[in-house]
Amino acid sequence: MKINLKKLKEENKSYVTINDSLSTLDSEEFQISKPIDFNIELSLVDNEVFIKGNFNTKVKLECGKCLNEFHHHLEGEIEGHFIEKNKMKKIISELEDEYENNGEIFEELKDDEIDLADLIREHIILELPTYPICSDNCQGVENFENYIDDGVDPRWQQLIDLTNKKNK
């Protein structure tokens, strides 16, 4: 879903609210199982665009313990700060002169359009759990207990047995 800023400027709109949903989103990191509902406020100020909003969806993930697929509810905030190419060049040249941007991240506007799908995808990835688990009660793979390590190297077991007999 792309927003054409040239059209918004022609209509003299400096503030737009968008409530919509995306039913598909291409990503290698996750698969959507429920359309992504999002609310976004877009502000045009001079040659800059500020985006703030939130999203809500479900994604299909693989459990890190039992390896089964499960659906995980995600919600989070969306933020973006886009600037036109000329201003971006100025900021980059100022950065070379030790310009501090107070941690702000700027993205360059391309063809006076903003692709909301890319912005939403980035923020969904940031909200994904690092180690997804299907439930708190997940027991993991059935035969996992066969691989439990007691912390003793089997090559030392005979020496440990001899030491234990001597101490008794």
- Please, what are the averages of pLDDT over each run of 10 residues along the chain (168 residues)? 73 78 78 89 83 92 89 91 72 56 63 81 90 86 63 80 83
Domain extent at residue 94 = 2-167
CB atoms under 10 Å from CB of 115, counted, come to 12
pLDDT at 117: 84
Whether residue 78 contacts residue 146, with contact meaning beta carbons closer than 8 Å, is answered with no
Q: Say if pTM beats, i.e. exceeds, 0.75.
A: no
Quote the pLDDT of residue 98: 46
Specify the pLDDT at position 93.
65
pLDDT of residue 157: 82
Structural domains in the chain (count) = 1
pLDDT of residue 99: 44
Q: What share of the chain is helix, strand, coil (3-state, %, to 5)?
A: 30, 35, 35
Q: Count H helices, E strands: the chain? A: 4, 7
The pLDDT of residue 84:
74
Q: Kindly compute the dihedral angle of the four CA atoms of residues 44, 49, 52, 54, in this order, to the nearest 10 degrees.
A: 110
